[in-house]
Structure 1
C-alpha cells in the first residue's frame, strides 16, 4: 500500500464506527481496517497513559460522585477497560480482583457495579476479554496460513513449540533446510497478523527480527494484512504479504548453511 493511502486510512479510523463507514465507502477489506484501527488505538492508548495516570485522583472523584466508568473513559478518550482498571487500583482494589470482575461480571453482587462492568466490556473491542480473543485468533489464523503453505510445498519446519528451550528466541517457523523465495535465501519465516507500517516493523525488528537474523541468518516476515510499499528494512530480512503463497520455491545449493549447522554459541 502506498504511504499516502495508508496515512489517509489511518487518520480516518478515529472510532470503531469508522471501520464500517470506510468499508462501505471504499470497498476496503473490513478485517484490514480492523487491524489498522487496533494498531492506531493501542498506540494512542500508550501515548495517553501518562495523562490518565496523572489525572487519576480527579477521575476517581468523578466516579465516586456518580459518573460511570464508561462516561469517564469517553470523556478522557481512553480505553473503557483500562480506565476501569486504573480507577479500581486508585480505589485500593487489586488487579486480580478487577480482572475477575471483568471476566465473570455475573459474580458481582452490587448491581450498579455489575452494570458498569458489563457496559465497559461491551464497549471495548480491544482490551476486553472478547477483544483480546479476536486478536489471538487473528494471530493463530496467520500462523496456520503459513504452516499450511509450507506443508503444501513439502517444506520441513519447526515451530516455536518444537524449539522451546533450544534457543533464546524462536521464529514462528524455522525451516529444516534453507530455500530460495523471491530469489533470496530463507532460513526462517515469521507470521504477523498485522499491517506493516514503520512503527510496527521497527517494534518487531527490535523485539524479535534482529535476533532471528543474528541466530539463523536470512528470513522473511509476512504481514498478512499488507505493508507500506516504501518501507525500508535492513539486510537479512525480506517483507512480504499474503502473496508469498503464490511465489515459487527453489532449493538452495548444498553448501548453504542449514539452521542445524549454526554455532552452539547462539543457542540457549
Structure 2
C-alpha cells in the first residue's frame, strides 16, 4: 500500500501553538492579512499544509466561540457603550477575544431596526451598506453613536464598522460560509468521481434522501467492500459499507464532538464505514474508531479496494 501523507510529527507542537493563539486572542485572529502570513510561517516552519492549518485552527476556534458566546452576550451592554463612545468593532472584538464579524452581528441586532428577526438580520449582515444607509435605519436611542468614529459618505458609521469587521475577520462571515460550503461540495463531487473511476457502484446522500432514507452518509456502497487502510495496529483490510466525506482537518475534539456520533448512527443503520478527512487528521491512536467499526483516512481516497469475490480493484482494474 502506498503511504499517504504521514501523521505529522509536529502535530502536538502545532496543536499547542494554535490552542494558545486562540485562548490568548492573538492579533492575527483579527486581521486577515496577518492571519495569512502567520499560517504561511507555520507551514514553512513545521511543514503542515496551509489548508490543513486553516481548518485545524477554525475547528479549535469554533469551540472557543461556543464557550465565549454567553460571556460576550452577558457583557454586551458595556460593549455597546464603548462602541457608542467611538471604539471600533474590530478593537472591541480584540478586547473580548471574539470574532469581529460575530460581534458585529450582535451589535447590529441591538442597534439596527433590521435586527428584529433572523432573516432581516442575515440580509443586513450580507449587505450592510444597503440596509444601514442612514440614521433612520438605527433605533432612535443609538442614533447618537453616528456622531463619533469612522463614517462613509453613502452609509452609516455602523455600516462602515460592519464592513471593516467582515474584511478583518479571517474565519467568519458570509464569504467564508460560502467558501466552506463550496469546498464541501467540491470534495463530495471528487469522491463520487473517484469511485466511478474505480467502477464502484454506490448511492449518494441525495439519492438516499430522495427515496426517504434519513441519517445518510455521503456515499452508501451498493455492496460491502474491503479497503486497505492504516489503523492503530498497522495496515489492515477493513470492511466498509459507506463513506463520509469531511472537507476539514480531523482534530481530536471535532472528531469526538461532531463526527463520531454521526458516524455511529450510520454504523447502527448500515454497518461499518469509512470517514475521509481530506485535510488530514490527528494521530489515529488519539481518535475514537467506535471499536474498529470506523476506518479513518486522510488526504485522499485509497486506490485499492477488495471486492466480495476477493479480487483487488485498483483504478478500475481487477487483479487476483
Matched, 1:143 2:163: no
Q: Deviations over 1:20-77 (max 9, x none)?
A: 2212333332111111121122111112112101111111111122222222111111
Distance 1:63 1:124, change over 3 A: same
Please say if residues 12 and 18 of structure 1, whose CA atoms lie closer than 8 Å, have aligned partners that are also in contact. no
Partner of 2:13: 8
Residue number in structure 1 paired with 2:219: 173
Q: Name 2:69's counterpart in structure 1.
A: 49
Look up the match of 1:227: 281
Aligned to 1:75: 95
SS at match of 2:214: coil
Tell whether the 8 Å contact from 1:179 to 1:251 is kept in structure 2 after alignment: yes
Aligned to 2:120: 97
Q: 1:206 to 1:244 in 2, by over 3 A?
A: closer
Give distance in 2, aligned partners of 1:222 and 1:104. 36
Return the alpha-carbon distance in structure 2 between the equivalents of residues 184 and 160 of structure 1. 22
Specify the SS of the correspondent of 2:289: coil
CA distance in 2, matches of 1:109, 1:88: 13
Q: Deviations over 1:185-224 (max 9, x none)?
A: 1110000111222211112345410110000001000011
Q: Shift in Å at residue 106 of structure 1?
A: 3.2
Gaps of 5+ in 1: 255-268
Separation in 2, partners of 1:204, 1:190? 13
* CA distance in structure 1 between the partners assigned to 2:122 and 2:10 by the alignment: 39
Deviations 1:87-131 (A, max 9, x none): 233447323333222211331314312211110111123221111
Per the TM alignment, residue 253 of structure 1 is displaced from its structure 2 partner at its CA by 4.9
Per the alignment, do residues 156 and 147 of structure 1 end up closer, same or farther by CA in structure 2, a change over 3 Å counting?
Answer: same
Task: Give structure 2 stretches of 5+ with no counterpart.
Answer: 1-5, 22-28, 30-34, 135-154, 229-236, 311-320
Equivalences, count: 253
**Highest CA radius of gyration, 1 or 2?**
2
Q: After superposition, what is the alpha-carbon deviation per residue over 1:214-252, rounded to whole angstroms, capped at 9, x for unaligned?
A: 000010000111122222311321111134333x11111
Distance 2:51 2:271 in 1: 32
CA contact (8 A) 2:129 2:160 kept: no
Q: TM-score, normalization: structure 2?
A: 0.73
Q: Which of 100, 105, 109 is matched with 2:133 structurally?
A: 109
Counterpart-to-counterpart distance in 2, 1:11 and 1:199: 13
Query: Root-mean-square deviation (CA), in Å?
Result: 2.1
> Does the CA contact (< 8 Å) of 1:149 and 1:245 recur in 2?
no
Q: Of 290, 298, 301, which aligns to 1:241?
A: 298
